Amino acid sequence: MSAYPLGSGDVAVVTGGASGIGLRAVERFAQRGAKVAVVDLNPGAAQAALAAAGSTVYQYDVSDREALDAVFADISSTLGPPKVVFANAGIHAGAADPFTLDGDAIETMLNVNVKGVVWTIGAARPHTPPGGHIVVTASLSGAGPYTIDPLYSATKHAVVGFVRSLAPLLQSEGITLSAIAPGIVDTPLVGEDVVELLKSVNFDLLSTDDVIDALDVALTEAQPGACYISLPGMEPVPYRFRGLPGARVPLDDSSAPL
List the catalytic residues: 152, 156
Which are the contacts of 74, defined by CB distance < 8 A and separation ≥ 6? 58
Give the count of alpha carbons within 13 A of 118, CB side only: 15
